[in-house]
Structure 1
Amino acid sequence: MAPQTASQKNPSFVLQKQDHLTFEDRPIPQLQSPYDVIVRPRWTGICGSDVHYWTHGRIGHFVVESPMVLGHESAGIVSAVGDKVTTLKVGDRVAMEPGVPCRRCVRCKEGRYNLCPDMAFAATPPYDGTLARYYTLPEDLCYRIPETMSLEEGALIEPTAVAVHISRAAAIKPGDQVVVFGAGPVGLLCCAVARAYGASKIVTVDINEERLQFALKYAATHAFRSERVSAEENARKLIEQTGLVNGGADVIIDASGAEPCIQTAIHALRMGGTYIQGGMGKADITFPIMAMCTKELNVKGSFRYGPGDYQTAVDMVASGRLSVKELITRKVKFEEAEQAFADVRDGKGIKILIEGPEGE
């Protein structure tokens, strides 16, 4: 794969089809609305969904049918603004919320725009992502970040907003016992948000000992390594070994999508506890519905982020209530993007950031 040169207009990292990545020059985007801005993404994190589209060509009913620019966890610098933009100016440093809702449907109008059926989300077919020199967004989806926050931290606002949305759905409050299954980026950030919200005990659960130890240093108070036993037995050991009182956890978040984790979580909740599904796995699983009913659990799904989540994420990082720098495993140049994707596929590190193409 040939590296790009600074003379190209809009170098982009493109998934041509399953298992086939290229660099190519794309047209420089134009302002489609007087309320839009053009941003130069400077840092972009690699998400599991980006890698999944590369390796599988689809996620559920979202299928890669034509070439698509990858990337959606980005922060950058505003390079142009529309005539009616009032909150941003050229040169502003912004975290980029990568999904544009229609703003007109029932879900949008009731304040749940993340559920908009016509959402145009970056790097979700058929929409191009942010791994390019230029990208266009409405001004209200660009969040100015303070000088005290790096653009690298700004790129991690996207997964942080996912964790904020999950934690809000869980209604975590001071003193809660919270268990988070999965010690990947979102699971780790859920631990950090739970701590910021005052949880007294935060248990990280994974099968990877290295990830568990990282989580303990980062935000968790306790760790539990899942075993290949029944869900009921795993739940019993989890409760005993981590000292969960009152019959189990108040809140459990699954950020793994793994069927055994989901089953264990339901059994490890106290009566009347709250379960949030944040991770995506198989389309259909065997679910312990009897335990859910007899415990009268509050069971919810969580999808991306909605009103206030992005700004809350920015504020939490800017104020120091939550730190994301520890999650950055390494940073690479734009022309090293394919190797970075391969490393994420192979489970190397927590979060790898790709630098945007150099300026013209």
Structure 2
Amino acid sequence: MTNYQVPQTMKAAVMHSTREIKIEEVPVPEIGPDEVLIKVIAVGICGSDLHYYTHGRIGNYVVEKPFILGHECSGDIVAVGSNVSRFKVADRVAVEPGVTCGKCEACKSGRYNLCPKVEFLATPPFDGAFVQYLKMREDFVFQIPDNLTYEEAALVEPFSVGIHAAARSQLQPGSSIAIMGMGPVGLMAVAAAKSYGASTIIVTDLEPLRLEAAKKMGATHTINVLEQDAEKEIKQITNGHGVDTAWETAGNPKALQSALGSLARGGKMAIVGLPAQADIPFNVPFIADNEIDIYGVFRYANTYPKGIEFLSSGSIDAKVLITDKYPLEQTYEAMERALNYKSECLKVVVYPNE
């Protein structure tokens, strides 16, 4: 692959309005001196992709022109810019999708996920990865070992959210944790909790398929919230003590309240999922009386090397998550599948170059 011939044009799956995607020919991006060109092999569909697809916006981020979705991706490097020193053609890589300025206070303090100038794939106005070729600044690209599949490399993105939540909430080896909501981010959060050495990992959801997958990812206890009261069950599992840490990954107000209610005194809660409404009532006396620490979690920072290391160690079977595969031509079908069949599929993957 050393003399790879990069074509002039490529196929892209372009969203023209909500629930309308067309496959189009677009120019292959030209790379700058600090950038690499990646032949995209696998792209996972994420909840935020589905949100833009169905609503055309997330909060202040509004889709105003034809738009390309997809941000969980991996592939092969096919061209490198003149200043690039870390990569060569044919390297297999995972892509961290948010390029930051590197100069602001947030970037300089290491919390670059809070950079106000971040250019994040598939967040308007920046196009995403449902394309055959993608350019990326080299410092947001990470080499992957041969034993890591492209699908697993794409999963480093949702996995990063769990790793960041673990770092923010100071998750300790041997501790107990409850994770509310077993969508793909929640399932990867289970893997993160396991990687950080939590010994009791209790999860909640209402889909049997997801609870089953959570067990395979390392959950020690599963609670179906349609059949059981999560707080009561968690108290029982922890001998009335409550958990040391709770993460809410579903963006569900009720799950948020039961995450809080399941904590032991001095416990820590991380808010990972984004609920549709802004104001949610909380039991403030409980928070004060028990000195509960609450952490907001926005994406992640400095997580990719750890994520790649954890996933390639063989201790996590992330392949459990990959339930559906589609070529780029069928991106519309892939999105509809991910949107409408949540009880049958976990992670839907699109392959732009198949």
Identify whether the pair has TM-score above 0.5, normalized to the shorter chain.
yes
Q: 1:71-220 maps to which residues of 2 (within 5 A)?
A: 71-220=70-219
Change (3 A) 1:94 1:234: closer
User: Which residue in the other structure is 1:17 paired with?
Assistant: 17
Instruction: Answer whether contact 2:251 2:272 (CA < 8 A) is retained.
Output: yes
User: Which residue in the other structure is 2:291 paired with?
Assistant: 296
The one-character-per-residue Cα deviations of 1:36-74 (angstroms, maximum 9, x if unpaired) are 111111100000100110100111111111111110000
Unmatched runs of 5 consecutive residues or more in structure 1? 1-6
Counterparts of 1:83 and 1:179, CA distance in 2: 48
Instruction: Answer whether contact 1:193 1:322 (CA < 8 A) is retained.
Output: no
Counterparts of 2:167 and 2:51, CA distance in 1: 27
Change (3 A) 1:8 1:330: farther
Q: 1:309-348 maps to which residues of 2 (within 5 A)?
A: 309-346=303-340, 347=342, 348=344
User: Which residue in the other structure is 1:235 paired with?
Assistant: 231
Query: Secondary structure of 1:155's match?
Result: helix
Amino acid at match of 1:121: F
Unmatched runs of 5 consecutive residues or more in structure 2? 1-6
Q: Percent identity?
A: 37
Query: Secondary structure of 1:39's match?
Result: strand
Query: Secondary structure of 1:213's match?
Result: helix
Counterparts of 1:154 and 1:235, CA distance in 2: 35
The one-character-per-residue Cα deviations of 1:230-254 (angstroms, maximum 9, x if unpaired) are xxx64234312xx114620000011
- How far residue 8 of structure 1 moved from its aligned partner, in angstroms, is 8.0
Counterparts of 1:301 and 1:130, CA distance in 2: 27
Query: Secondary structure of 2:27's match?
Result: coil
Change (3 A) 1:37 1:289: same
Instruction: Answer whether contact 1:185 1:350 (CA < 8 A) is retained.
Output: yes
Instruction: Answer whether contact 1:191 1:219 (CA < 8 A) is retained.
Output: yes
The one-character-per-residue Cα deviations of 1:122-177 (angstroms, maximum 9, x if unpaired) are 00000000110111111111110111111121111111111111111121111111
Amino acid at match of 2:215: L
- How far residue 228 of structure 1 moved from its aligned partner, in angstroms, is 8.6
Q: How many aligned positions are there?
A: 346
Q: Please, which of 343, 349, 355 is the counterpart of residue 351 of structure 2?
A: 355
Instruction: Answer whether contact 2:39 2:76 (CA < 8 A) is retained.
Output: yes
Counterparts of 2:348 and 2:128, CA distance in 1: 17
Counterparts of 1:8 and 1:18, CA distance in 2: 29
Counterparts of 1:218 and 1:69, CA distance in 2: 31
User: Which residue in the other structure is 1:3 paired with?
Assistant: none
Change (3 A) 1:136 1:8: closer
Counterparts of 2:230 and 2:46, CA distance in 1: 29
Counterparts of 2:20 and 2:281, CA distance in 1: 34
Change (3 A) 1:38 1:8: closer
RMSD, aligned CA: 1.7
Amino acid at match of 2:349: L
User: Which residue in the other structure is 2:4 paired with?
Assistant: none
Instruction: Answer whether contact 1:133 1:357 (CA < 8 A) is retained.
Output: yes
Instruction: Answer whether contact 1:188 1:219 (CA < 8 A) is retained.
Output: no
Instruction: Answer whether contact 2:217 2:316 (CA < 8 A) is retained.
Output: no
Instruction: Answer whether contact 1:73 1:156 (CA < 8 A) is retained.
Output: yes
Say if 2:27 is the partner of 1:27. Answer: yes
Counterparts of 2:261 and 2:251, CA distance in 1: 16
- How far residue 322 of structure 1 moved from its aligned partner, in angstroms, is 2.5
Query: Secondary structure of 1:26's match?
Result: strand
Instruction: Answer whether contact 2:223 2:230 (CA < 8 A) is retained.
Output: no
Amino acid at match of 1:127: F
User: Which residue in the other structure is 1:244 paired with?
Assistant: 238
Counterparts of 1:183 and 1:234, CA distance in 2: 14
Counterparts of 1:207 and 1:63, CA distance in 2: 31
Instruction: Answer whether contact 1:194 1:202 (CA < 8 A) is retained.
Output: yes
Counterparts of 2:178 and 2:28, CA distance in 1: 45
Query: Secondary structure of 1:239's match?
Result: helix
Q: 1:262-301 maps to which residues of 2 (within 5 A)?
A: 262-282=256-276, 283-301=278-296
Runs of 4+ deviating beyond 4 Å: none
Query: Secondary structure of 1:107's match?
Result: helix
Amino acid at match of 2:78: S
- How far residue 225 of structure 1 moved from its aligned partner, in angstroms, is 1.9
Instruction: Answer whether contact 1:227 1:234 (CA < 8 A) is retained.
Output: no
